[in-house]
Amino acid sequence: MDFKALLMGLAFAFMWSSAFTSARMIVVDAPPLLSLSARFLVSGLIGVALARLMGETWRLTRAQWRATIIFGICQNGAYLGLNFIAMQWIEASAAAIIASTLPLMVALAGFVFFGDRLKPLAIAGLVAGFGGVILIMGARLGSGLDPLGTALCVLAAMALTVATLALRGASSGGNVMMVVGLQMLIGSVVLIGPSLAFETLSVTLTPRLILAFLYTTLVPGLAATWVWFKLVQRIGTVRGATFHFLNPFFGVAIAAALLGETLGVVDIIGVAIIMAGILAVQLSKAPPAR
């Protein structure tokens, strides 16, 4: 892995993890699905415009279209939609911890549904990673963590697992920025219907909401997604996903720094265990060094 790929991976992990804190700020002052649909509309239009300026086309291959639609529905519609709803009731750090189990859930899904063989290191990583999550969530549920919000985050992580399994087809064949923009527009369309049907469209326009909306739209939304696609193209999905082991740390650290969310000893131990488990799973997939 070269130095540029390392910087890209670190940048992606930080930007992706910061989205939980900015989302928590947004849902305090605006309906979650409406704000998320608006975010995807803005970032999608920007992404498509940038793609055209870069000479890209929306004439994608059939595999790209299929994967882009699945990715837009599962990640932007289901995963982020459920997380935004959940963060009306739970802390950003809790949502980040649950979402960080993505590499573990992908590995488990590969074993259960596709017959992937798991090395002993991967099995140990799965046990450790999910054990760390159970440790943290058990302690927090005992301290009043909302069960419904927690369940929504788990369902969201499952949707993200499906989106990740569809990623390879969307990131091959070029037109990366166009794919990024189009899957965001798909997410906007998916979310606006439920928002109009079920939400009270009341927005309290505050400086915090404006800044958080702009940041979420441009950084975790547009920049992080583009960096992820480029990272996968550069070093592959397996090596790229290794950087997800940093998400639990970044997620809880940013929430603690900007939102003042408290971290107990159990949280710190659990995060360390999850990080070790994710790293073990990803390292077990890496090809041997030559």
Please give the chain's pLDDT, 290 residues, in tens. Answer: 688 999 999 999 999 999 999 999 999 999 999 999 999 999 999 999 999 999 998 888 887 888 889 889 988 999 999 999 999 999 999 999 999 888 899 888 888 887 888 899 999 999 999 999 999 999 999 889 999 999 999 999 998 888 777 665 455 567 888 988 999 999 999 999 999 999 998 999 999 999 999 999 999 988 998 898 889 888 877 678 778 889 999 999 999 999 999 888 999 999 999 999 999 998 887 665 55
Closest C-alpha to 272, from 162, 128, 107 = 128
**4-18: b or e for each residue (b if 16 or more CB lie within 10 Å)?**
ebeebbebbbbbbbb
- Predicted TM-score (pTM) of the model is 0.87
The closest alpha carbon to 103, from 200, 2, 286, 238, belongs to: 238
CB 36 within 8 A of CB 248: no
Q: Between 102-114 and 120-142, two packed helices, what is the crossing angle to 10 degrees? A: 130
Contacts of 66 (CB under 8 A, 6+ apart): 166, 169
Phi, psi of 61 (to 5 degrees): -70, 165
Q: At CA 47, angle to CA 78 and CA 161, rounded to 5?
A: 30
Cβ-in-10-Å burial (0-12, 13-18, 19+) of 144 comes to exposed
